[in-house]
Copies of this chain bind each other. A is one copy, B any other.
């Protein structure tokens, strides 16, 4: 019984922390995204549509919570969280394009290329990426320019050819051919893992943390991201469109390679639980202040949307 009470209390604290982070990052995004202006206003409208439409804000939450471990100014951390959400939003806009995953629905609303048009969606994604890097390098993000450069380099690695874009390339190549288990794990590590890992690491960069702490947060993010991806695939395989706000069953319909498809739902669920437990263990040295990040690892595998 006591354990149940603790789980509930941790879950409650997590829900409150996530809501607070989502509010802070929404405010930062609103401030940092360009306001529609001039003849090209449609571009800023699409950027705002793609980014301000909600979502879990998992990446921003990881930045805020990992930065809090080092008592980083929350406004600085929110800028970094907003930049990572811009980067994530751009990737969703481009992934949804007809030439990529061709998805008309995102977060329960028309995808950006459906709400606007393909050209605008491509450009909005491009401009969101540029703005993400720009925000990280601006003086307001950190007083130490070395920290800002580390953030830019880290985001470049996480999102480029050896990160997110490389993962999406594998995903496109995987349609209609069979990947090995190892290749599927690499696909997911690149496509979603690297950016989630970097989100957790970003707090340590902002906090000028010593290497062991930075590595611990990166390892937490890596395992959390892997658990998150399996949970996402389980939702796609077993959830409904209403529950997830995305077109349900798309992966299977597109012949996409997922661990769920390869291992079956039960083994995939066990794998996610193992990864989540492992993620939490990386935080041992941080003690009580990391409780919310540990609760997040539980939440990620238990979530229903």
Which A residues fall within an 8 A CB radius of B?
Answer: 34, 38-40, 42-44, 47, 90-91, 94, 97, 99-100, 117-120, 122-123, 125-127, 129-131, 133-139, 144-146, 148-150, 152-153, 155-157, 159-163, 165-170, 172-173, 179, 183, 186, 190
Contacts and interface: CB of A to CB of B under 8 A. Distances in A.
Contacts of A138: 149, 153
Contact of A149 (B38, B99, B148, B170): B148
Given A100-B119, A123-B165, 9 more contacts: A39-B173, A40-B167, A40-B173, A42-B173, A43-B161, A127-B161, A131-B161, A133-B155, A145-B148
Residue of A131, A150, A165 contacting most chain B CB atoms (<10 Å): A165
B161 A134 contact: no
A133 B161 contact: no
A130 B136 CA distance: 13
A147 to B, nearest CB: 8
A153 B137 contact: yes
Contacts of A186: 38-39
A90 B135 CA distance: 20
A173 B149 CA distance: 36
Given A119-B99, A138-B153, A146-B145, A166 B127 contact: yes
Contacts of A99: 117-119, 122
A165 B34 CA distance: 12
A137 B122 contact: no
Residue of A40, A43, A90, A179 contacting most chain B CB atoms (<10 Å): A40
Contacts of A166: 38, 40, 43, 127
B123 A169 contact: yes
- Number of copies of this chain in the oligomer? 2
A120 B165 contact: no
A97 B122 contact: yes
A170 B129 CA distance: 19
A131 to B, nearest CB: 5
Contacts of A146: 145
Given A39-B186, A100-B122, A126-B125, A160 B134 contact: yes
Nearest to A35: B161
Contacts of A150: 137
B42 A162 contact: no
A270 to B, nearest CB: 26
A89 to B, nearest CB: 13
Contacts of A152: 133-134, 136-137, 148-149, 152
B126 A129 contact: yes
Contact of A39 (B129, B130, B170): B170
Contacts of A119: 99-100, 172
A154 B224 CA distance: 34
